[in-house]
Each structure stands twice: as structure tokens, then as C-alpha cells.
Amino acid sequence: MTISRKDIEKVAVLARIRVDDEQVSALEKDLGNILDLVDQLGAADTDAVEPMAHPLNAVQRLRADEVTEINQRDAFQAIAPSTENGLYLVPRVIE
């Protein structure tokens, strides 16, 4: 299985990562190798194996519906780049 330049550019956009042309060429090779490896795994016969949703063979513990958190806004906002009236400010997004 190979990966195209177009695929890499699309994934980069979705992941919000800027990659230049040179990097795309290198990634084409690296990611292609990884995908080839995954393809080899595909050759294993898994017909009799139940698919797993998680590598740990365990079940999720659930929590009682009780408030355990207190208001720590000041502590969290102390490390935020920009806040106002209790809001986190981010570069403008318009739908």
C-alpha cells in the first residue's frame, strides 16, 4: 500500500500541521513504509479471532453521579494565553 502526496497534504490540513514540499517527499517514503508493515499484518489469518475494542482485556469501571470537582478557574486561567470575563479567548473563529 502506498500513500500519495495528496493524502499527506489532506492529513496535514486535518491535523493542523504545516508541512513543506520537502517534508512531504520524506513523509511519502516513511509513511509508505509504515503502511506496508501494516499490510503485512493483514496477511495473518484472523477468521477465528474476536475483534478487540481495546488491547486490555478488561471492562470499564463506572463512576457514581456525584460532584467531585470544585471551581479552579483561576488556577486554569493562570496558564491560559488570554482570558476575559472568565472566558478563554482564542483567535476568532467564524462558521
Measured between alpha carbons, how far apart are the two ends of the chain, in Å?
Answer: 36
How near is the Cβ of 10 to another protein at its closest, in Å?
Answer: 7
How near is the Cβ of 31 to another protein at its closest, in Å?
Answer: 15
- Which string of x and - marks every residue 34-73 that binds another protein (by CB under 8 A)? -------------------xxxx-xxxxxxxxxxxx-xxx
Distance CA 42, CA 61 (A): 32
How near is the Cβ of 5 to another protein at its closest, in Å?
Answer: 17
Any contact of residue 91 with another protein (CB under 8 A)?
yes
Burial of 47 (0-12, 13-18, 19+ CB in 10 A): exposed
